[in-house]
Structure 1
């Protein structure tokens, strides 16, 4: 998985508009935004999809969600945002490195998709 697009962003081989970084996650603006705010939060640990995360990844996954909430607040969307994570090709996952979509700034319908 070291050759995924997101691994290359983590390793600074590809540029990204980074909005947050800490020891465990990196967050950057999506290059094809689906909302006025569309930021991806990715772990630095390579995990291909959520179904393959282990019990030892629980804190990391929680950290991703809390980071997403802080980013949404920092971007001015703390009172209304959507988080989405696709698992597998059938769900629309195109980069096989888990990533959390943080979307805000427009109305979202239910059910999604």
Structure 2
């Protein structure tokens, strides 16, 4: 069963965040993953922990084990440290679920 997450971010450096996406995508693909819907958010009507959400997307994997392996992958962690940590102020997982 495929595994999907709905993620909200506060991106503070669009250029560096795009570099992160480009660098991590080949790694994501090796885990049967990819991106589904991807939105830039112009207005948050009901903020929770992070009122400055400006990006919402879905990310999927072939299964939950692949998701766990991806986020623990050494090459991914290097890319995350170089690009993600300087371009994203906050991350919130809105939902995660298995899908057919």
Task: Give TM-score, length-normalised by structure 2.
Answer: 0.32
Which gives a bigger RCO, structure 1 or 2 (Cα 8 Å, sep 6+)? Answer: 2
TM-score calculated relative to the size of structure 1? 0.30
